[in-house]
Structure 1
Amino acid sequence: MDVEALAREVSKNNEDPITKIVGGDLPGFEGMLRPHRKKPEWHIVYNDDPRYRGRVRFTLAHEFGHYLLHRPTLTAQDYNSGTLDRACDFQCKPLLPNSWQEEEKQREEEADTFASFLLMPLDDYRAQVDGHEMTVDLLNHVTDRYGVSLIAACRKWIDFTDRRAAMIVARDGHAKWGRASKAALKSGIFIRSGMPIPDDALAAIGAAERGFVSDRPVARPNGVWNFSRGTEPVRELAMVSEFLDMSLTILQFDDAFDVCEIEEDTPWDAYDQFTRDDSR
């Protein structure tokens, strides 16, 4: 899918279309949606640093999501003074969701959800991965098929899988952010910002490595990973990125755990917000 062409084509039906999509030097940002200061138009700018190249398509789709879901509609009246006099930029920073305000966090989650479904249609994605354990080969297949980053492909799987699984993006030995599947959340597996990465975790053991520490998940015993309801064996897949100064860990748990016995509300997430029907 040509995300840039789609964004231009769809938005041109509005009074305030997207007229420019360009790569640029955006230190500390992955991308942004910003209004033209002289007329009712929008621009998408994405970080064209080579380290972020694998994220460009997702970034474009994310900013297009902001345009469709969150932008204030601009008209000629907003420019009566000759220039736009209100701030309505959407500036998207990488790896910082736990530092966002709640309203900002929800907005970013919704844009991510939009991008995920636009680039990786659920039925097709499910056909690629259902019934398979997540491995490096499978992740590479998905990223090649949809032209997205490993993190985007992994997050998509975490969001829809019925298995107990979690992903953790870490830097300097601590989690920057993470995500657990609904089944994992019900069994007490939560990933919190600042959570220390265990010394025996593959990402810590392979800190000097580049790329994935192993091609397939490695079975780890009790005591390596601890969560709110204790510890249990887990299969661990880990990638260390020297260029991005971060690690990605994928945890896959035994599905024999009886989550039906636990009566806990699943936390509200962006998918619920994006798909809810307010008319009911």
Structure 2
Amino acid sequence: MTDGKRKSPQKEANRLSNLLRQVLGEDRFPVDIEALAREVSRNNEDPIGKIVGGELPGFEGMLRPHRRRPEWHIVYNDDPRYRGRVRFTIAHEFGHYQLHRPPLSGQDYVSGTLERDCDFQCKPLRPSAWQDAERQREEEADTFASFLLMPLDDYRAQVDGEEMTVDLLNHVTDRYGVSLTAACRKWIDFTDKRAAMVVARDGYATWGRASRAALKSGIFVRSGMQIPENALAAIGADEKGFVSSQPVSRPAGVRNFSRGPEPVRELAMVSEFLDLSLTILQFDDTVDVREIEEDEPWDTYDQFQLGRGS
């Protein structure tokens, strides 16, 4: 952390976003995250001195200190398969810098080299393998990146309560320069609709996220949950890209959750490079969202733990 008390990732991201608005106006997207990170950090004794791509097998990115002077480096995975994630990865590591790093000074290098280990090494999302402290830290860095790159007021204005379609998703990803996954997750986190997203590989969910309204009605995605054979992502497994441009209505029984089967509209995409499928599930709005408590959004880790306890 950069000071004595824990910072709110959303408030810190909003603070920087407001600064960008004051300087650049409304036409500030996509955010030049590299320039912002350098400019903000240069006011500290331990600035971000380098932001580079590199080979990081098993990692999406990392924030690491220079071993001989008070300075930090951000390294992101420049594998072509991850190019759509680069901006979010840099913002995520910048979030660790703003929220979690131990401030470094010349006193840390009196022996000529930094002796303590304070790297932040960020792997692809594996919530069920995280310890609680690590999970909180990674969630905070993700929240910071999401609100910095996609401010909520601007995102709401782009979506404007519409049903999620390919055209709308493409508009959002182009405006903010983020991946489809990041854009979908942002929408799931704030929409008042009953919706969920499922990321799957080899016919099984690797992780997922549900909106508050969906969770309230008993819809959550368990890690390892089998994808139904007649789900749109399974039917279109040989396709590359989106299976359809509009959500496809599926009858009750294709997807089953704790409250029982019900109809759903599916929007599915199959990734050619990452061997993954991404599905957005949109349900009828049968739940009064005014009854939903204002809790933090749940991800697969929370839902997986809930499933183990049920």
The answer as to 2:197 corresponding to 1:167 is: yes
Identify the residue that residue 215 of structure 1 maps to in structure 2.
245
Which of 56, 70, 93 lines up with 1:63 in the alignment? 93
Pairs aligned (count): 269
Do the aligned residues in 1 keep the contact of 2:192 with 2:289 (CA within 8 Å)? no
Do the aligned residues in 2 keep the contact of 1:214 with 1:238 (CA within 8 Å)? yes
Structure 1 gaps, min length 5: 272-280
Q: CA–CA distance in 1 between the matches of 2:260 and 2:240?
A: 31
Which of 214, 224, 227 lines up with 1:194 in the alignment? 224
Task: For residue 268 of structure 1, report the CA deviation from its aligned partner.
Answer: 3.9
Task: For residue 130 of structure 1, report the CA deviation from its aligned partner.
Answer: 1.7
Identify the residue that residue 164 of structure 2 maps to in structure 1.
134
* Aligned residue identity for 1:237: L
Identity %: 81
Q: CA–CA distance in 1 between the matches of 2:203 and 2:129?
A: 18
Identify the residue that residue 184 of structure 2 maps to in structure 1.
154
In the superposition, relative to structure 1, how do residues 41 and 270 fare at CA in structure 2: closer, same or farther (>3 Å)? Answer: farther
* Aligned residue identity for 2:58: G
Query: Cα deviations across residues 1-53 of structure 1 (Å, max 9, x unaligned)?
Result: 21101101100111111000001111111111001111111000011111111
Task: For residue 97 of structure 1, report the CA deviation from its aligned partner.
Answer: 2.5
The answer as to 2:269 corresponding to 1:233 is: no
Do the aligned residues in 1 keep the contact of 2:251 with 2:263 (CA within 8 Å)? yes
Q: CA–CA distance in 2 between the matches of 1:148 and 1:131?
A: 20
Task: For residue 260 of structure 1, report the CA deviation from its aligned partner.
Answer: 6.2
Q: CA–CA distance in 2 between the matches of 1:161 and 1:131?
A: 8
In the superposition, relative to structure 1, how do residues 158 and 68 fare at CA in structure 2: closer, same or farther (>3 Å)? Answer: same
Structure 2 gaps, min length 5: 1-30, 300-310
In the superposition, relative to structure 1, how do residues 180 and 137 fare at CA in structure 2: closer, same or farther (>3 Å)? Answer: same
Pairwise CA RMSD: 1.7
In the superposition, relative to structure 1, how do residues 200 and 222 fare at CA in structure 2: closer, same or farther (>3 Å)? Answer: same
Do the aligned residues in 1 keep the contact of 2:205 with 2:225 (CA within 8 Å)? yes
The answer as to 2:126 corresponding to 1:96 is: yes
Do the aligned residues in 1 keep the contact of 2:212 with 2:297 (CA within 8 Å)? no
Structure 1's consecutive aligned runs of 4 or more residues displaced over 6 angstroms after TM superposition are none
**Secondary structure at the residue paired with 2:266?**
strand
Do the aligned residues in 2 keep the contact of 1:168 with 1:177 (CA within 8 Å)? yes
Which of 208, 224, 234 lines up with 1:204 in the alignment? 234
In the superposition, relative to structure 1, how do residues 238 and 114 fare at CA in structure 2: closer, same or farther (>3 Å)? Answer: same
Using structure 2 for the length normalisation, give the TM-score: 0.83
Identify the residue that residue 18 of structure 1 maps to in structure 2.
48
**Secondary structure at the residue paired with 1:60?**
helix
The answer as to 2:215 corresponding to 1:182 is: no
**Secondary structure at the residue paired with 1:55?**
helix
